[in-house]
């Protein structure tokens, strides 16, 4: 994860068609991910930057 290195190892992901799922036992990591997602959804520039930094193979 570009915003928070190491967070991806503390959270599991199971995306499905039209749905994003993050889960795990580390409540603090899930809260941090939620805050990062909230900030990205509130600021289009942040969301664009995150999408641009993502691996194109992850996008359908």
The pLDDT value recorded for residue 42 is: 97
How much is the pTM?
0.76
Q: Residues 26, 29, 24, 58: what is their CA dihedral angle, to the nearest 10 degrees?
A: -160
- Which of 46, 44, 36 has its CA nearest to residue 7? 36
The pLDDT value recorded for residue 15 is: 80
Cα 4 to Cα 26: distance, rounded to the nearest angstrom: 15
What DSSP designation does 6 have?
Answer: T
The pLDDT value recorded for residue 32 is: 94
The pLDDT value recorded for residue 35 is: 94
What is the pLDDT tens value at each position of the chain, 60 positions in all?
A: 567 888 889 999 888 888 889 999 999 999 999 999 999 999 999 999 988 888 887 776
Write down the residue that tokens 């199971």 correspond to.
Answer: 14
């Amino acid at each position: 994860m570009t915003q928070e290195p190491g967070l991806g190892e503390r959270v599991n992901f199971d995306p499905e068609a039209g749905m994003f799922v993050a889960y795990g036992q580390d409540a603090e990591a899930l809260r941090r991910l939620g805050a990062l997602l909230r900030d990205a959804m509130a600021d289009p520039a942040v969301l664009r930057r995150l999408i641009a930094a993502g691996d194109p193979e992850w996008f359908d």
